[in-house]
Amino acid sequence: MNFLTKTLWIYLFCGCFVSEIVAVKVIAHRGAWKQCAIPKNSIQSLKNSAKLGVYGSEFDVHYTKDNIGIIVHDDSLKNELIEKLRFDDIKQIRIGGNEYLPTLKSFLKTAKHLPEIVLFMEIKPTSSPERDREVAALVLKNITQWGRGVPIEFITFSQSVARELLRLSPDVHVHYLEGEFTPSQIKAKGFSGLDYHFSVYQIHPDWVTEAKELNLKTNVWTVNSPEIMKQMILLNVDYITTDEPQQLLELLSTQAQP
């Protein structure tokens, strides 16, 4: 019986969760979009996240050739890499309903009126470490221009992006997504935490405890199954990123009841 299985058995047998377990915070993956059938990574999904009362709203950022930050998950539009397209080439793309492809500027300006929510900004890798570093600098510049005072935590698969963010602004919170580093390695790199797929924590459940001992945050993505939500709650991760934020909030509320 492995550590995670044993832990689950103990808590299920007891029929309860200890009080600190329910402190996990909910992050809406690409905003709160699913139940309302609205576009992911949209201004409306960001606003819905705030209405729902989650801790944070995650979204994805790419930069165009002319250095305009746009909110979209995939790295290509119109069968071309976004970093090779100018904003004028794609600005008329509708993502659903009446909403056009949102810009980072519009997201940050919207967030200034939603002070109760934290933005979890995923900065997507580019085609080269050099461009990664340029994008990291652009993000910080744009936040200064349009998002001053907005609570933001950064997540990325790119070590180049993460290192440059910290070089330019040592106090920012940067969580690494890839999943190959132990908590001690994450600490040595100066990152703020681990933001790993749930399968990584299922293999290495002890990493959560180790991370807490090192004062690192633990996030887990993308958890949509109630059973895996329960597993991650039991591990006492700090954040759970999900496409089902309302379902997770309800689960946490149920488990918090005496």
Amino acid 8: pLDDT: 43
Contacts of 133 (CB under 8 A, 6+ apart): 160, 161, 164
Topology of domain 24-256, per CATH?
Answer: TIM Barrel (3.20.20)
Q: What is the pTM for the complete model shown? A: 0.91
Residue 24 makes CB contacts below 8 A (sequence gap 6+) with 232, 233, 236, 237, 238, 239, 240, 252
Residue-level pLDDT, tens digit, the chain, 258 residues: 444 444 443 343 333 444 444 589 999 999 999 988 899 999 999 999 999 999 999 999 999 999 999 999 999 999 999 999 999 999 999 998 789 999 999 999 999 999 889 999 999 999 999 999 999 999 999 999 999 999 999 999 999 999 999 999 999 999 999 999 999 999 999 999 999 999 999 999 999 999 999 999 999 999 999 999 999 999 999 999 999 999 999 999 987 655
Q: At what angle do helices 245-256 and 226-235 cross, to 10 degrees?
A: 50
- pLDDT at residue 145 in the model: 98
Quote the pLDDT of residue 256: 66
The domain segmentation of the chain, as residue ranges, is: 24-256
Predicted local confidence at residue 126, as pLDDT: 98
Each residue's pLDDT tens digit, 55-105: 999 999 999 999 999 999 999 999 999 999 999 999 999 998 789 999 999
Helix H or strand E encompassing 233:
helix 226-235
Give the model's pLDDT for residue 46. 98
User: Cα–Cα distance between 212 and 216 in angstroms, integer?
Assistant: 6
Q: What is the pLDDT of residue 20?
A: 44
- Short-list 27, 30, 102, 100, CA closest to 59: 30
